Structure 1
C-alpha cells in the first residue's frame, strides 16, 4: 500500500507549477533553486532569475523542472544565436553572455579543486578560490569548430533526420545550420538531407563526420594545396551501388567535398584511381609547421585556441636550448614539434603505435631531427620501469584524455622532473592528478582556462607545476 501511495504523490507533484528563485549554476550549467528543502534543477535558468517552472521529475533528494517563463531576468542573459538551442544537446550556455561563461567555468574548476583537495587532506596547502589564475585563452565564440559528427536516423519510410542528439535522449534534433561550426560546415545540413533523400540504398548510413582541413592533394586536380577544404567521412552500413556512388561523386564535385567511406573496418576514399587521388589532410601551426593526419585521428577542434595554447605552453615552460622535454600523450605531435624548435631534445610517448609512427612522420617532414617517439602504456609503471628512468628530463608536458593521467603524474613526481605542464579536458581528473603532484612537493604556479568549447559546459585547462 505504501508504494501505491508514493506513486500517487509523485504523479501529483510531477505536474505541479511553481515559482523558483535560481541561486547558481551546477557543474553542467543547469540552474539550481530550492523547493521543499531540496535542490531543483532547471535547464536554461540563470542565477538571480525568478522563473516559473513545471516539475518533471521528483526524487527524495532533488527534483528537476522544465522552464516555463522568466519572471525576473538576469542581466547576463542574451538571446541564443542558434535556432535549435534548447532542443539540440550540443550547446549548454548560449543564453549566457560569453564573459560570464568563462567565470562559470573558472568557478567550476576552483570548486572541484577545493572539494578534492579537502578530501585528500591538503586543503591547507591550497584552496580552489586561491588558485593563481591567469588570463583565459579566448577565440571567437562562434564558427570555431572544425570537426563534428552529424547523426543520421531513418524513420519507417526511410526518411532521414540529420543533426545532433537532443538533450538526455538518443533522438536527433533536425538541424538546418550550426553557428559553432566553421564555414562552410555550418550550412552543410540541407545539402546532406537533399542528397540522402535521393539514395537508392535506403537506411544505409550511420553517421557523417565533417572535417575542415588543409588539403595537400584532392580528387580535384585544380584544387591542390587548397586550404579549408571540406572532408566528409560516411559511416556506410550497407555497400553502395553504382547509382549512389555516382550521386555522391556529383555532389562532391559540385561542392568540392572530399568523400571518404567508412565500412566499419577501414576508411577509403570514394574515388581512388590513378588520376584521381585521395586527400592528404593537414593543419598548420602558428610557427608554420604542418601536422598531417588521417580522417579518423583525433585533432583539437578549435584551430585558433590550439595555436594560442601551444604558444602559452612554450611561454610557461620557458624552454632553453639545453632542455630535454618529455611529451606524454603526444598524439600526432601537436605540441612536440613546437617544443622541439626551442629545446635540445623532445621525447614523445603515446599508447598507440600507429600514432607514434604518424608523429615521427610529422617530425621528419617538418625537418626536425631532435624528436624521438615511443609507444608505451601510460597507465602502467612505464616511466619507472623503462629507459626513461635513466634519462634526465628538465620539463614534461602531458595532454591526456578525459580519464586523466593518475599513473603518469605519480611517476613524474618520483622522477623529480622540475617543471610539469598539464593540459586537461576534464577538471575533475585534473583536480585529482594535481593533488598527487602537490602532495609530492610540487607547487601550482599558474593556471588558466582555454575556451576550446565556447557555448558549452566543457572546460579545457592548462596548469604549470614546479618542484
Structure 2
C-alpha cells in the first residue's frame, strides 16, 4: 500500500509590528485585543493598555501575538517578582498586584456562572446582581507552595536542565529559584543541578518531587518528630549504582534532606530502614489534628489557605453536636477529622480504597472514633449503598477533583440534604454543578474565592447551598 505524506503547514506569522488596544483578559489571564475582526491574544498585556506586538500565529478564528513594548501602561501593572516570569509556565499573573488578581478570578467565576446558568434557563440576575460573594481566603502571595514536581531533562551531551515547563511547550525552563515555593525549597534548583552534573549515570532521572512536611522518624529508640523537613522523591528510570547512591547520601546529609526513590512500582527510602522503623510524613491542622500521608498522596499545597479553608467550612456549615455529615471525595480526611470534632457522625467517601484506608488510619491516629470511611465510585449511582442509607444526613461537604461532581450533586438533591458545602478547584465544573443544585431547589447562600495558587490563573472556590 502506498504511503502518502502531508507536508506540515507552519502557522502564518507576520513580520509587521502592530499597535493595538487591549480590551480584557481571557480565562487564562492573557490579554485580548481585536485585529482583523477576530481576537488577538497577547500574553503579558493588560486591559486598557496600548501595546506594540508581533503576530506569531494566525488561525481562522483567532491570532496570537508576542508583546514587544508597552506604549500606554495600565495603572494595575506591577513589576513581576520572579526573574523567570514569561518563560516559565508556572505563573500567569505576576504583573497584577494581588488585589487585582483576586478581582480577575472573581470575575472569571461570575462569568462562568452567568454562562452556565443562562444555558440552564436560570435567572441571569442571580449572577449579575446577587452572587453572595464573601471575603476571599488568602495567604502570603509568595513562598506558599509546599509541594512541587521539578522537571529534569538531559540533552545529547548529558547537560541537565532542572525546572518547570515553558509556556505552551514540553521544554523546561532552567529555574534558578522559585518565589512561590516555601523556604528553603525555592533555592534548591542550583543544588540539584550540581548533583546531576556529578551523576555517573546520566538521563536516569525522570523528575524530582520536592515536599516540605513534618516527619516522624521511628526506630527502636522511639519516635522523633521533626518539623518542616525537605523530602525529595527521585523518579528513577533505571536503578542507581553505588557511586550515585553515595552522591545522594552525601548531599542528603549535608542539606538535611530525606531522599525517597520511586522506581515506577514502589517508593522506598534511599537508606533502607532498620527493622520495625518507619519514616512517616504529616502536616498539622489548625486544631492540632495531624494528617499522615505518603509522598505520592495528594495534599493541599498551601498550608495557610488549607487551614483557613477548613475553618471557614466549619463556620459556614453551622455545625451542631447532633449533626450527621456526609463528606464526599474525602481523600485523607482533610475535612473529615475537623468535622468529626464538632458533630455526632461523619461518613467519609472516597473513590480509591488506599485513600479510604489512610483516612481511617488518620482518624485512628487522632483518636477520633465517630468517623467511618467507605470506598465508592461517586460518579455512579450510589443512593442504595449501605453508607448512604445508614443515616439521614443533615449536611454534606464535597471536595471533588477538577472533573467536578455532576452525578454526586444529582443524588445529593434526591437525598434532600438541606445544607451543601461545595469546595471546588475548577470554576467551570462548579458552575455546571451549581446550576444542577439550583434547578433542584437549592439557593446560593455564600461563596468565596480561596487563593490556593497566588500568581496563577487557577481558581478555587467555596460555595454554600441551602434549602
- TM-score, length-scaled by structure 2: 0.95
- Render the CA deviation track for 1:207-246: whole Å, top value 9, x for unaligned: 0000000011179x99931110000000000110111111
Once residues 453 and 128 of structure 2 are traced to their aligned partners in structure 1, the CA distance between those partners, rounded to angstroms, is 22
Tell me the equivalent position of 2:89: 89
Contact kept? 1:327, 1:397, Cα under 8 Å: yes
Tell me how far apart the structure 1 counterparts of residues 38 and 278 of structure 2 sit (CA, whole Å): 58
Cα pair 2:444 2:466 within 8 Å, conserved: yes
Which residue number corresponds to residue 228 of structure 1?
228
Counterpart of 1:3 in structure 2 is none
Q: Is the 8 A contact 2:114 2:124 kept in 1?
A: no
Please say if residues 162 and 174 of structure 1, whose CA atoms lie closer than 8 Å, have aligned partners that are also in contact. Answer: yes
8 Å CA contact 1:384–1:411 kept in 2: the answer is no
2: CA distance between counterparts of 1:33 and 1:40? Answer: 5
Mapping for residues 6-155 of structure 1, pairs under 5 Å: 11=12, 14-124=14-124, 126-155=126-155
Displacement of 1:158: 1.1
1:247-396 equivalences in 2 (<5 Å): 247-274=247-274, 277-396=277-396
Partner Cα distance (2:279, 2:184) in 1: 18
Residue 279 of structure 1: how far off its partner (Å): 2.2
Alignment CA distance shift 1:223-1:375 (3 Å): closer
> Cα RMSD (Å) of the superposition?
1.7
Q: Taking structure 1 as reference, are residues 20 and 132 closer, same or farther at Cα in structure 2, changes over 3 Å only?
A: same
CA deviation after TM superposition for structure 1 residue 117, in Å: 0.5
Q: CA deviation at 1:61?
A: 1.5
- In the TM superposition, what whole-angstrom CA distance separates every residue of 1:414-435 from its partner, at most 9, and x where no partner exists? 0000100000000000000000
Change (3 A) 1:463 1:392: same
Gaps of 5+ in 2: 1-8
- Say if 1:111 and 1:129, in contact at 8 Å, map to a contact too: no
Q: Which residues of structure 1 form unaligned runs of 5+?
A: 1-6
For 1:239 and 1:435, the matched residues in 2 are separated by: 51
SS of residue in 2 equivalent to 1:217: strand
The answer to whether the Cα contact below 8 Å between 2:245 and 2:270 also exists between their aligned partners in 1 is: yes
Give the corresponding residue for 2:241: 241
CA distance, structure 2, for counterparts of residue 140 and residue 205 of structure 1: 33
Instruction: Return the alpha-carbon distance in structure 2 between the equivalents of residues 354 and 389 of structure 1.
Output: 23
The equivalent of 2:429 in structure 1 is 429
**Could you tell me whether the CA contact under 8 Å between 2:347 and 2:387 is conserved in 1?**
no
State how many pairs are aligned.
458
The 10-residue stretch of structure 1 (128-137 or 444-453) with the greater mean CA deviation from structure 2: 128-137
User: Which stretch shifts more, 312-321 or 386-395?
Assistant: 386-395
Deviation string for 1:6-51 (max 9, x for gaps)?
Answer: x89x74x532210011111000000011111111110000111110
